[in-house]
Amino acid sequence: MFENVVTPRLHVKQSWVQPITNLPAAHNILNIRSDKEDVQLKETLERSIRTAPHEDGEAALPDLLLWDEKGLRYFEEVTYTPSYYLTNEEIGLLERHKYQIVEHIPSGSMLVELGSGNLRKIRILLEALDELGREVDYFTSPWISPIPNSNGHLVRCHRDDSCMFIKNGLVRANEIMGHEAFDLDLWDVQGVWDAENGSHNQYYFPRSNVNLAGNMISSGTKLLAVKSHKYDAEDRETLCRTAGLQEEDCWASDTDYNLLLLKPTRSSLSENMFHDDVS
């Protein structure tokens, strides 16, 4: 995965937000990717492939396979499709409540965004901060350039509607392994809603018996690619409490999509302040 840092500083009456293809050299982009991460991913992938035929429960491949540069571009295309409602919901909330949100961001703050895509959401807040004369440092990881309009916004899918974004995980797996561990013509993708656990799961499965790392994988055997969880208010409260966070503000859409402002609880701050690391 490509990780980059963009560190522009905003000033009063200076609008830095321009098309990303025209970023001036002054906006320094630093690649902080580590080769160690690639080594760890390969080790995890090899272990997953080796143990997949023997898993008693749900076998899975590392979901990090999805997020290489090509995967990020595919996913960016997905966010433009009508069926992917999350992006439009979030953009709508940011547009309606941007000034309320940035009131929580004083000058001198550091903004860190994980997975910014082409910056089309965060730029709403950055422009609002600029209008109010707030100086902030903004860091993003990973960053990708915009997808040209000429490419279209619809994701082209392989047979049986298995999407290129998910299928690209197998392409990436083959690249990491250095050989064709997965014959792409024999593998497809299936999405499944898991009502019990409140998650939408994407799986790889072979359409016929295949050999994987010297082991036979039966037709239809599922390998988990990625999970996307949906949380209700009770789940959200449990997650925050477990993480030592509390809700300070919330902005909700008519369809109950929420943007949350969270802060550490006093107890979690105290624990971190007086915790001695003996490792």
Q: What is the pLDDT of residues 89-142, one digit of tens each?
A: 999 999 999 999 999 999 999 998 877 677 889 999 999 999 999 999 988 765
pLDDT at site 32 = 47
Contact, 175 vs 38, CB < 8 A? no
Q: How far apart are the first and last CA of the chain?
A: 29
pLDDT at site 85 = 86
CB-CB neighbours of 176 under 10 Å: 19
The pLDDT tens digits for 199-255 are 999 999 999 999 998 888 999 999 999 999 888 889 999 999 999 999 999 999 998
* pLDDT beyond 70 at 87: yes
Enter the tokens of residue 257.
């999509």
CB-CB neighbours of 272 under 10 Å: 10
Whether the upstream peptide bond of residue 206 has omega within 30° of 0, thus cis, is: no
Q: How confident is the model at residue 50 (pLDDT cuts 50, 70, 90)?
A: confident
Nearest alpha carbon to residue 168 among 80, 70, 76: 70
Q: How confident is the model at residue 273 (pLDDT cuts 50, 70, 90)?
A: low
* pLDDT beyond 90 at 147: no
Contact, 251 vs 125, CB < 8 A? no
Q: What are the contacts of 197-202 at 24+ separation with CB within 8 A?
A: 197/229, 198/229, 198/230, 198/231, 198/232, 198/235, 199/227, 199/228, 199/229, 199/230, 200/227, 200/228, 200/230, 201/226, 201/227, 201/228, 202/166, 202/226, 202/227
The residue extents of the domains of the chain are 35-68+158-229, 78-143, 234-264
- Which one is predicted more confidently, 107 or 26? 107
